[in-house]
Structure 1
């Protein structure tokens, strides 16, 4: 095994954190530029949802093979290579003249950044002890929160200067630089590289057969996926169509939402171990935080408060959702860490793709059925909330069963 790195925070954590910053920025960029895309291409809500969610589909579809690659070749080489695809996708998106080219470019971006979070988690499992995983995972999510913040008001301010095409050309060049940064970071050898493909697939099958995995999967698919679908596209139109905000005001609320989410990630990073020692383990914190998120979403549906309060509050409590990855990883050997995390992430991005696309389909259908635009948006979000509540209820029940010892989780 390679010698220890003098400062793993700057040599290991920082490059992967920068990569995840750009991943989150690219995921949410369409929320701000959606009026320009709609105007330039004449898109319907369904078209915009499908175009934007192509990122999520490509990202999610690659998660299972990504887990095999991370466990076999290591996060440094895998993520750096995929980021080259992301850079090409940004350039294609910037130059695209029709919805087909833009959708393909968006899918390439999603594929290219598909390792940014899971590669980070895999790298941390190699370089840092198990008890640090929850706080490290939260810290990397805070870097994503910074990316989400930039993909709000700051990005909106750049639009008049560069246009959405110019912005994506710049992002293409920056992504090439991030790829080089990660490729030149240190690497720690992994034993699973000696595994045959058959053995790796057996390990993946073990994860999917585990009750531990299915304890977290429905909640992550519906709640994490739903939040990404809203933050990445539909939150801004919801605020303009339902709450009556201007686009600039809605972009500011998105900035507040991303800032609150980042604060939540940082609070978890600094205090999760202290809360555990105080008698509030991560499994309970996850259930409480997600439950609060459902209450905030209900408030948004029923308009029980101002948008500037409810959406940032949702971002704040959503931060607990990343605890599921650390909790699931602890159930398996470190050699399976990449596959366990990507299996769970597969569910979250497939959920995000489905919700982001079908939300637009539902709004269009409800409008055709005679509902006014605000009511159509609220009804679509109410359906999402009902599905999320079911996923949360399953997690709570399974957690209680595990604690009672009625089910021995593998």
Structure 2
């Protein structure tokens, strides 16, 4: 690791350069802006659903289409980061994606939004660029914390829930993508000025084919499983909760988006804490216990509003069981926290187990998480159309987390006990 030429700042006894902090700041800012744009349809889609008369499945497809491209592009962009360096790849990504973002303001039909969404979704791949880029500036014992701070750029999901509905209410929805396109260009300039050349650029060993061979390692697929739950669930619910609150509790879009931030905000800003916990207690412990807490939260959220008719000696009486909005916000807040911890701990695994192939492994794992974020809103919409129960989205996630806990137990927990 090359730290020469920089002033050194002490962090809990570990040496971290001022250049590293500058790179971390610039990368987190860029990732945050990308995430705002990536989640944009989660808010704009509520108005577009009414304007275009979309059903639940079509709405899920609209909001998740950018997530698909962001997932698929993480693999090549991760490999390109290993080859060309994070500074060049991130700057290019920000500038190129400003074009389709601007084009959203001129779309009028569903197919146009879907097509443009495929292109603007590339901003979601910025995570596969920034993660290995940032990690190369920090010593191994501080990478969990550094990647947690960088991952906190997902706070863009919460910022989107505050800023987008406000801009939409003040200037109309077509103004929003124009403003975000300009913001992407400005962010590209700031990033280039504040970042530094990637010390790992061009150091990937072997051919491109050799780089991809690492995905045959079974550990990579276990990490894909973990991240498809934590990041996929976080992304999907960040897109879905605003319209859920609007429909379930009769809120305005602005109010629903603000309450939805109760899930997205802790799920973003606490990734740094999750990374620090993974540094101290290990990635496995944080992932394992985080999923157990998520499973319990989803169990409570899964129960739909129910009216029980009780026959008494004085006649019939009705008992209503429903989740109050305050309870929903509180539980979703906890769910956001444990998803944040799980996202951070997953990439602690990556940094520890694959130091020479962080770009490609980050791309593969990020691809799995992004595919989860793409598919889940579509499944949410389809379940809503079929069963007509809004809480089916949480029922579905509850089942997925339970299966995943079982698989983690079989592949890691029981194995460690046998070895021990």
Return closer, same or farther for 1:191/1:66 CA change in 2, 3 Å cut-off: closer
Return closer, same or farther for 1:258/1:352 CA change in 2, 3 Å cut-off: closer
Kept in 1: contact 2:81–2:359 (CA 8 A): yes
What 5-or-longer segments of structure 1 have no aligned partner? Answer: 367-372
Return closer, same or farther for 1:405/1:215 CA change in 2, 3 Å cut-off: farther
Cα separation, 2, equivalents of 1:269 and 1:380 = 28
Q: How many angstroms does 1:10 deviate by?
A: 4.9
Larger proportion of strand:
2
Matched, 1:157 2:163: no
Q: How many angstroms does 1:401 deviate by?
A: 4.4
Cα distance per residue 1:153-183 (max 9 Å; x no partner): 3332222212221011000011011122333
1:253 maps to which residue? 259
Matched, 1:385 2:395: no
Secondary structure, in 3 states, of the residue corresponding to 2:108? coil
Return closer, same or farther for 1:11/1:227 CA change in 2, 3 Å cut-off: closer
Q: How many angstroms does 1:3 deviate by?
A: 5.0
Q: How many angstroms does 1:269 deviate by?
A: 4.7
Return closer, same or farther for 1:194/1:335 CA change in 2, 3 Å cut-off: closer
1:268 maps to which residue? 274
Q: Could you tell me the TM-score, scaled by structure 1's length? A: 0.87
Cα distance per residue 1:269-316 (max 9 Å; x no partner): 55554xx2xxx3231012111211121111111155622212112112
Cα separation, 2, equivalents of 1:191 and 1:173 = 29
* Root mean square deviation, CA, Å: 2.3
Matched, 1:230 2:237: yes
Kept in 1: contact 2:262–2:333 (CA 8 A): yes
Kept in 1: contact 2:40–2:160 (CA 8 A): yes
Please give the residue correspondences for 1:3-402 in structure 2 after superposition, counting only pairs within 5 Å: 3-6=4-7, 7-115=18-126, 117-145=127-155, 147-184=156-193, 185-190=195-200, 192-193=202-203, 195-196=205-206, 199-206=207-214, 208-232=215-239, 234-269=240-275, 271-273=277-279, 276=280, 280-302=281-303, 306-322=327-343, 323-332=345-354, 334-366=355-387, 373=388, 375=389, 377-402=390-415
Q: How many angstroms does 1:142 deviate by?
A: 2.0
Higher mean C-alpha displacement, 339-348 vs 99-108: 99-108
Kept in 1: contact 2:234–2:267 (CA 8 A): no
Aligned length: 387
Cα separation, 2, equivalents of 1:260 and 1:132 = 22
Kept in 1: contact 2:383–2:393 (CA 8 A): yes
Return closer, same or farther for 1:392/1:24 CA change in 2, 3 Å cut-off: farther
Return closer, same or farther for 1:177/1:397 CA change in 2, 3 Å cut-off: same
Equivalent residue in structure 1 for 2:416, among 397, 403, 408: 403
Q: How many angstroms does 1:344 deviate by?
A: 0.6
What 5-or-longer segments of structure 2 have no aligned partner? Answer: 8-17, 304-321
Cα separation, 2, equivalents of 1:228 and 1:296 = 17
Cα distance per residue 1:85-107 (max 9 Å; x no partner): 32112111122122222112222
Larger proportion of helix:
1
Kept in 1: contact 2:69–2:124 (CA 8 A): no
Return closer, same or farther for 1:165/1:224 CA change in 2, 3 Å cut-off: same
Cα distance per residue 1:45-82 (max 9 Å; x no partner): 22221122111111111122122111111111111111
Return closer, same or farther for 1:344/1:26 CA change in 2, 3 Å cut-off: same
Cα separation, 1, equivalents of 2:186 and 2:29 = 10
Cα separation, 2, equivalents of 1:388 and 1:223 = 9
1:369 maps to which residue? none
Q: How many angstroms does 1:328 deviate by?
A: 2.4
Cα separation, 2, equivalents of 1:308 and 1:245 = 14
Cα separation, 2, equivalents of 1:41 and 1:263 = 34
